[in-house]
């Protein structure tokens, strides 16, 4: 199954006009059109893999170009070549001696690497059956059976897996309180979410303090004192401004302030963390953190209290494994960023891995959920009682329906043709 050569790589610019209804809007991205560079790879013996990276509209064509430029490093390789030395392949893709100049490991080229690597992980996961016994068989139990037997190890794995299969992984919702939503919309969405069993809510803030006070007070009243509230400024403030602004929102008891300032300012985040700690407010960031090196420094500098990995921003599973393991070492919980298009589908695999194989803890941990665009995926996320239910289909849950891809291709798919015609362009 791993012997076929990767013979084709196709990439599409797929966009959804979410800005028409202000879905996804925040203090810095007033009108996002949730989009993806969508990659399909295929071997000469017919195995396929699907990968995406997430964008918010204009500029997706640049990511598509970068994927095309990187494709020469993938075409002709067998899956076996790649996975038998996956870190070597990762380095070859991210450190090509000419292309690394336009990174390295950051920005568009990193998004493009993520899309390709996500497709490879999807292909690999489809090629291999998943069975906990297989994992346990990799361990040499000689001389340790008085402490841990093969049977005990298997039961441990199976019981964690069973717990997840029964209860699922805890999620929070961002769907109620995008910045562009009216108070009426916010109230209605929040009351529906409460009846559906949601207990953790994220609110967009940062454009106008008085508006934020009103919106946070509205949500806190509706959800009561016990449920969790998180706030997200999407990089709107300078450091001192962030501290004073969030202090004014402290009465609503947010668990965290997300992306308070420039995502590259590690020491700035450290200063904000220090100032807000006495108020019981942590700092969360990561959705626009370029790579594992930056995460390392955020952790070393105690600049964040919640690590928000993203399945499409950094180099796929390979780089996220490093980030999750570093977070575990520094004892900082991982609470992934999701939403967008396909981010929930992909990141659920990573957070389940984090729980089952790395952290084994749910304390202060939850995964973001946003209720948009799941209908375009062949294996959409399943949410039950505000928990992600473990995906069952083999692969990375990243395959989209052909019809969705075709209709939403930019600019020639039928959805965009009609929008562009209406706008007279
Ligand atoms: C433009 C996007 O919707 C962002 O606002 C979104 O990813 C957000 O930061 C989030 O945390 O969900
Ligand atoms: Mg955010």
Q: Tell me: do 170 and 92 sit in the same domain.
A: no
Give the ligand with the smallest distance to the CA of 367.
Answer: 1
Which residues neighbour 69 within 8 Å (Cβ) at sequence distance 6 or greater?
99, 112
Whether 258 and 320 map to the same domain: the answer is yes
As a whole-number percent, the residues of the chain with pLDDT over 70 amount to 98
Q: CATH number for the domain including 347?
A: 3.20.20.120
Q: Are residues 166 and 268 in the same domain?
A: yes
pLDDT band, residue 160 (cuts 50/70/90): confident
**Which is the closest atom of ligand 1 to the Cα of 343?**
7
Strand 306-307 vs strand 367-369: parallel, antiparallel, or unpaired?
unpaired
Please choose, from the candidates 284, 252, 315, 265, the residue with its C-alpha nearest in 3D space to the C-alpha of residue 90.
315
Are residues 47 and 155 located together in one domain of the fold?
Answer: no
Residue 332 three-state SS: coil
Mean pLDDT of 323-329: 94
The DSSP annotation for 127-144 comes to HS---HHHHHTTS--TTT
Q: Which residues form ligand 1's pocket by a CB distance below 6 Å?
A: 24, 26, 29, 32, 56, 174, 232, 234, 287, 337, 339-340, 368
Q: How confident is the model at residue 304 (pLDDT cuts 50, 70, 90)?
A: very high
ipTM given for this complex: 0.98
For residue 384, is it within any domain?
Answer: yes
pLDDT for residue 58? 98
**What is the pLDDT confidence band of residue 358, given thresholds at 50, 70 and 90?**
confident
Kindly give the number of the ligand 1 atom that is closest to the alpha carbon of 339: 12
Question: Rounded to an integer, what distance in angstroms lies between the CA atom of residue 374 and that of residue 341?
Answer: 8
The count of domains in the chain is 2
First to last CA, the chain: 47
Does residue 60 register a pLDDT over 90? yes
Instruction: Write down which residue in 130, 161, 185 finishes a domain.
Output: 130
Which residue has the least CA distance to atom 6 on ligand 1? 24
Could you tell me which residues come within 8 angstroms of residue 289 by beta carbon, excluding any fewer than 6 positions away?
263, 295, 298, 308, 310, 313, 314
CA distances from 221 to 118, 158, 180, 215, 216 (A): 41, 41, 20, 10, 8
> Which residue of 340, 344, 367 sits with most ligand 1 atoms within 8 Å of its CB, as the best mutation to test the pocket?
340
In a domain, 422, yes or no: no
Q: In which element (H, E) is residue 257 found?
A: strand 256-258
Residue 414 is predicted with a pLDDT of 98
Do 112 and 154 lie in a common domain?
Answer: no
Regarding whether 222 and 358 lie in a shared domain, the answer is yes
52 and 176 in a single domain? The answer is no
Report strand pairing: 48-55 vs 35-43: antiparallel
> 155 lies in a domain?
yes
Q: What is the mean pLDDT of residues 99-113?
A: 97
* 6: phi then psi, degrees, rounded to nearest 5: -70, 115
pLDDT (tens digit, 9 = 90+) per residue, 12-35? Answer: 999 999 999 999 999 999 999 999
Spacing, Cα 152 to ligand 1 middle (Å): 42
Domain, as residue range, for 24 = 6-130
pLDDT, tens digit, for every residue of 391-424? 989 999 999 999 999 999 999 999 999 999 998 8
Greatest mean pLDDT range, 147-151, 161-165, 215-219: 215-219
Q: What's the mean per-residue pLDDT of the chain?
A: 95
CA of 26 to the centre of ligand 1 (A): 7
Please give the average per-residue pLDDT across 105-115, as a whole number.
98
367: left (phi over 0), alpha (psi -120 to 50) or beta: beta
Q: How many CB atoms are located within 10 Å of the residue 353 CB?
A: 15
Mind telling me the catalytic residues?
204, 337
């Amino acid at each position: 199954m791993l012997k076929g050569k990767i013979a084709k790589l196709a990439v599409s610019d797929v966009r959804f006009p979410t800005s028409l209804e202000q879905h996804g809007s925040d203090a810095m991205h007033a009108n996002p059109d949730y989009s993806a560079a969508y990659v399909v790879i295929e071997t000469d013996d017919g195995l396929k893999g699907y990968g995406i990276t997430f964008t918010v509209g204009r500029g997706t064509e640049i990511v598509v170009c970068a994927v095309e430029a990187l494709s020469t490093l993938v075409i002709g390789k067998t899956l076996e070549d790649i996975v038998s030395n996956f870190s070597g392949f990762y380095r070859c893709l991210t450190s090509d001696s000419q292309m690394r100049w336009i990174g390295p490991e950051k920005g568009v080229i990193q998004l493009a690497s993520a899309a390709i690597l996500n497709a490879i992980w999807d292909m690999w996961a489809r090629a291999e059956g998943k069975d906990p016994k297989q994992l346990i068989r990799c361990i040499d139990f000689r001389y340790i059976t008085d402490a841990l037997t093969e049977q005990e190890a298997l039961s441990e794995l199976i019981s964690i897996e069973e717990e997840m299969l029964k209860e699922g992984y805890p999620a929070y919702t961002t769907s109620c309180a995008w910045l562009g939503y009216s108070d009426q919309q916010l109230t209605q969405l929040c009351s529906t979410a409460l009846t559906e069993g949601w207990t953790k809510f994220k609110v967009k803030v940062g454009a106008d303090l008085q508006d934020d006070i009103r919106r946070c007070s509205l949500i806190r009243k509706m959800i009561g004192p016990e449920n969790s509230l998180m706030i997200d400024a999407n990089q709107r403030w300078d450091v001192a401004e962030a501290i004073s602004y969030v202090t004014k929102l402290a009465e609503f008891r947010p668990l965290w302030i997300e992306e308070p300032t420039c995502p590259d300012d590690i020491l700035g985040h450290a200063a904000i963390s220090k100032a807000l700690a006495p108020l019981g407010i942590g700092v969360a960031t990561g959705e626009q953190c370029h790579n594992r090196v930056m995460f390392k420094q955020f952790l070393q500098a105690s600049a964040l209290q919640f690590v928000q990995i993203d399945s499409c921003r950094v180099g796929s599973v390979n780089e996220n494994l490093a980030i999750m393991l570093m977070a575990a070492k520094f004892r900082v919980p991982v609470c992934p960023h999701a939403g967008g298009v396909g981010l929930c589908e992909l990141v659920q695999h990573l957070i389940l891995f984090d729980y089952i194989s790395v952290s084994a803890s749910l304390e202060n941990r939850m995964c973001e959920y946003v209720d948009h665009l799941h209908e375009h995926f062949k294996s959409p996320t399943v949410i039950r009682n505000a928990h992600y239910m473990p995906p069952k289909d083999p692969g990375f849950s990243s395959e989209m329906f052909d019809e969705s891809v075709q209709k939403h291709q930019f600019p020639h798919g039928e959805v965009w043709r009609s929008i562009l015609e209406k706008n007279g362009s």
